[in-house]
Every structure is written in C-alpha cells, then in structure tokens.
Structure 1
Amino acid sequence: MHHIDDEQRRIRLGRRHLLARSLRASSVVKVADAVVALHATDAATVYLSTCARLSEPNVETVERALYEDVSLVRLLSMRNTLFAMSTDAARFVDASHARAVAAKERRTFLKHLREDGKGLDEHWLAEVERGTLTVLDERGRATGSELSAVVPSLRTKITVFPGTRQETVQGVASRVIRLLAADGRIRRDRPRGAWTSSQFRWTATTPWPAADPAEARTEVARRWLFSYGPATEADLKWWTGWGVRETRQALAAVTAEEVSLDSGASGWVVPGDLAPEPPPEPWAALLPGLDPSAMGWTDRAFHLRADHRGALFDRAGNIGPTVWWNGTIVGGWAQRADGELVWRLLSDVGREAVRHIEQEAAGLSAWVGGARVTPRFRTPLERELTA
C-alpha cells in the first residue's frame, strides 16, 4: 500500500488550502473551492478565512461575492452547520446535505407547534411563510424584526418541551426564517451593522434545482478528498455528518485509493493522487476560529499537538483562532478591545517563524482596520489573551 507521511500531509495542506503566500488566490470563489466550504456560523469567520488566503485581502472583495454577484452563498448543511461556498459547490451540497437538513428542521418545528396545544399546524405555517415571502417581495429585503412588525403571525410565541426541565417560551419568527432559508427560498443579505455583525437582512431567492442525492454525495466526497486527503473514513464521516453507509458508498463511488498514514490508520485519496508534492516556501498564517484548515479532520494529530488542544478548543470542540507555521498549529491569537492584535506561541518555532508570524499579524491588523473581532466560541487562550 502506498504511504503518505505526516510531513507530506502538511505540505498538501499549505498548498491546497492556499496558505503559503505564493499560492494565495485572486478571487473569493477560488478560496472557497480550495477548502470546499467555509464555516459561516460566526459572520467574521468567512471574512477572516477568505482574506487569509487572498493575495490582496480586503472586506469589500468578500462583501461583493456575498451580496452583489452572489458567487458565495450560505447553506445550512454539513453537521447542521452554516457554511459558505461557491455556487458551483452549492448545487451539490444542497442535494447532498441541505435538503435533508431542511426537512428535519421542518419536522422538528411542526412537532413543537403540535405540542404547544394552540392548534398551530402545517397549514398555519404555510400561511405565515407566504406572508413573509410577500413582504420580502414588496420590500426587497428586511430584518427579522422588520418582518415581525408587518407579519403578525411571526410574533406568535410557543412553549417548547412542555412539562420538562427544558420547557421554555420561544418566539416563532427566527424558526420560520430559518426554515425559509434552509429551503432556499430566502437568503442572508447585508447585515445592519459592520461585516462582523450577525444581524442580517433577508431577501427572497430561488431554491436550487433538484439533484440526485447519491450523485451529489459522490461529488462532495471527491472535492473534499482532493482538498483534505489523505484522510480517513472517520474524517470524511465526521466532516460531512453522514452515516457509515453513506460515507462508504461515497468513497466507493469516487473510487478512492487507499493509502497508509503515519498514525497506522488507512487514509483515502482521489484516484491517482499519490505523487509527493514539493514543499512551498516557509509560511505562517493567522486563521480564525472554526477555520476549515483546523476543522477539516476529526483526527488532527498530524498538524496539532495533543497538549495544545486544551488551550485552543472550547468545551464543545470548537477551535479558536490559531497561529500556524508550515502546516502545524503552534499558537493562538486574539484581538483586544482596543483593537490590538496579540498572539502567543505554544511551541518553540525559532526566529524565522516568529518573523513570518509578525508579518502575517501586521497584514491582518492592516485589513481588519477599526473592526473588532470577538469569536462566537471563545477558548481558554483567546480569553486569556484578551483579559
């Protein structure tokens, strides 16, 4: 069996994720496709992850892709998480993930409506959705609060998990908007605040055309293996959120080739992707929390020391802002309330690495400008650096 060692995996990461300075991209679409999809739960992550891979990073380029030419779209998809991806990738992710996620979201919400006991059902929900879409057609775009002010049913409150410890009263507006977005009938438009804000306006859009889910899963697996391979079956299963059967079917449909890894596990690559790649020039990167390069595998041992995890992850397993050197996570960074960007090394990487990291930190500070970035998922090191 062909063997691919950890050093080669780190080389591939730097090259294929466009992190080496000479390999950075000129367009947002190229960045998104290089990592398949960008985590978008935290609004700032899309900008920080993209600009870390752009040859000329700036907020306006990412905003144009998201809100003007809409070449970058957000979908509730893998692991029921919000991702941003190119429209080319989105047509496959919609069929492989988003349709199933949307159906599950709808079933769950209808169950909560029935349990509330007010007689609210799918007919009531359909009427509320029609009213919401009508307002968006008339206005062009609106926030959730603006929609609730015009559509009275959006101000309805229901009791979820009645009779249990989790019982709580909840407004339906955010749930209805989430369903419409999951179905692809509305999308996020420019936020009310700066690019770091998550208070989005919404605008009507057209759902993606139907496609065969199995064929879509094959294409998603192929793209992911090229960007993240060699990777294990468990890595692909975790990243996609598929079951074992779906994961193995996708690997078989791709005709992925099996390789051995330094960990002793079997990895998989796309057919013919066995040749070693030359290392790029020495590179450093400051990546945000939930960045794809840090969240791409369930087994991160080839680029993250086990004794660094406690400082860099929150209790739910979300990784915070990280400092990288030649394919390895070596520290973390944060932005203080006064705008100062600070970082700390967890490994001794030498003077050359420090010089490159300082250069990346200066570049990040320059394009972020006066914006303040606080990760949604805060980690011990990030909290300590900002204290």
Structure 2
Amino acid sequence: MFKKYTFALLLALCAIGSYAQTKPVIIPPYLHIQGDSVQGKQLIASLNDLLSQLSKPNKENTLVLKDALPETSALLDEMRNMTDGKGADKKDIYPCYLTNAAMLDSASYLIQLAYMGVTNSVPVLRAAFTFTAQKAEGRFYFSSPLKSNTRGWKLKSDGSFSFYYSTALNLDKVNIYVKKAREFDKRLHAPVYQTQIYLCNNLPNAMRLLGIDYKLDYNGYGQSNLSAFENNIDLSLTGREVNDPAALDLHDLWHSRLHRAVSVAVINKPLDEASAYLYGGSWGISWPEIFKRFKSYMGDNKDWLTAFNDNKNFGVNQQYHLYVSYVINALIVQQLEKDKGFAAVIELISCGKKEADNENYFKALEKITGITKANFNNRVGKLVEAEAKK
C-alpha cells in the first residue's frame, strides 16, 4: 500500500533522524515513500546518519553495508563536499534533496539524491546519486548499486584478479596486465590483495553503474576511471573502451601497485610518475618511445638541470602530456636500480611530497646516488647518452 507523506511531516521525521547532522536531507512535497510510518522514520533517520558521517573514513561509516564496502566507498568518495561550490564563500550552496525512495521489496529501497542550488539566478544540478538501502535490525544500511547493475556480466578470473565485462574482452591485453601487475608486486614486495576490475567502456557508463547519475565535475568527459581500496580489495571501474591504449594502462597500474606497498604520504609524485614512465610507459606509449620523443624535443640542449627545473611538456597536447623532469628522473631510477637494487629506488621515491624548491628531493638524490646540482648536467648527460645507444 502506498503511503503519501506531507512535506511538514517528513521534515519532522528528518529532524528526528538528524541528531548528528546539522543539515538533514530535504524532502520535497511530491515525494512518496511506500511502507508504514515506522519504516519511513527508520529510512529517513538512517539516511541522515549516513550523510552525517561522510567526513569519516568510509570504512568507519556505520551505515554502509559492509559486504559492499569497496564499491560503496568509491561512491561515497564522489559524494563528499557536494554541498559546496568553488571558493571559500561557496559553502553549503547546493542543498541535498531526496528525489526518490522506491521500495524494491519489504526491506529494501532504491534511494536517489540530488545536490541542487542556484548560481547567478541559474538553477544548477551539482550532482545526483543512486544507491540501495537494506533494512536490518531496525536500521537501513546503504550500498552502491554496482553489483545489481552488473549481475548479468561475464567474469574472467586469474588468481587474485577478477575482470567483469559485458562486451568483447581483449584477452591478450588482460593477460599482459595481470603479468605486469605480478611483476610490479614482486619488485615491490607488495602484500597480497584482491583486484576487481569492471570494464565499463566509457566514463558515463562507469558512473551510472556505480551510482553516479550526474556530477558537474565530470560534465563533458567521456573517459576516466573510478576506484577504491577497501576490505583488502582493489576495485576499479575502467571508463575506457578495452582496446583504447589507455585502458588497462600499465602506467596507472604502476601507481596503483606502488600505492598499496608504500604510503602515499611519503611518495614523491614526480618520482612516482618517472618510475611509471620507466616501468609502464604513458598513454599507451612505451618507455623507449617516450625517451625517443624526449631526445628529439631536447635537441642539442644539454642544460639538463634547467630543463629539469623548467619541466616543459613535450607531449602532443596538455591532455596527453609528457614531462621533461619525469624522463630525467626515470633515467636516474633506472641506473639506481641497476647499481643498488630496487630497495634504493623505493628509498628515493619515498623522499617525501614535492617541495617548491625540491630541497628534499635533491637531499635524498645526493645521499642515495651522489648526484648534486653541481654535477647534475654531467651525470644526467651520461645517462642520456647511454640510453640513446640502446
């Protein structure tokens, strides 16, 4: 039997459930919620409790369905700060509305939220999300609809790797990806964990499957990935056609495997990018081809220190960028691994976040490799010459 709640009544119910939330979800007057009044109260209270905990780590959110933590974590990451616009004066300008609460069975609902506001007298949809709510012990627990949205998909398993797909699968590419991941893990002495990859063909499809109906940040974008790491599961939704050179990208794979073995808090991003060039290429371009393009771009310029500091982009455009300093660092990493082993590479990569003057980088570089600003041109020049002869 359908129950129609009036606007005033549902606002009161929101207040009951928002003890930990200063701005409860707004219930429009047209909204219908099936079920009895007690269940309606439980649903609204649980929803507000979920939203009030968005600032917590996702695994600590007590209203997340634990069996669906990885995919729900990816969805919650996308929901953070959606009430805010850009700028310190744009806080809480996109209130959260409950736009749908469709009963699926006696104990579960499909929930849809929209963050909407007005900017310069123009209505703006900031974001919209869909997730499911499952009742247990007098409360509702929430999850991404990813598993239900991909229930009919095929599965390709290889040890700890699982690939979910609905269209033709490029097995050669999948096999290369798994082989490379295992090589990276061995090199990194990485912990054992599960890898789940959903091949979604494009970003809008990946968003829809996860529960992102719309997000202003992604307006106009057709290709990208969504991911999360929870419950010892590395989850990724690949928003590119599987035969796209950037799909199942070995460059991104290096970042992913490195970040499971080394704390992101100590990783130097330029060195992370440099090692990704070396071990995985970039934009589907191999390391030898990247170096060839770099060498052509540099021409007769031998001032490697200035080039390193200027860090110009020599890619085809800003989107498909390739940076000079990353290639130089890749040459240093390659020689360091040859001379001292991979443990020394990890020590260098872990020199800390990039600083404006690269002080921590040059300090670690001198300690581990003996390269200083004074001998940089000479040492890097020799690395460039050696690589060019290969």
TM-score (norm 1): 0.23
Query: Which of structures 1 and 2 has the bigger CA Rg?
Result: 2
Higher relative contact order (CA 8 A, sep 6+): 1
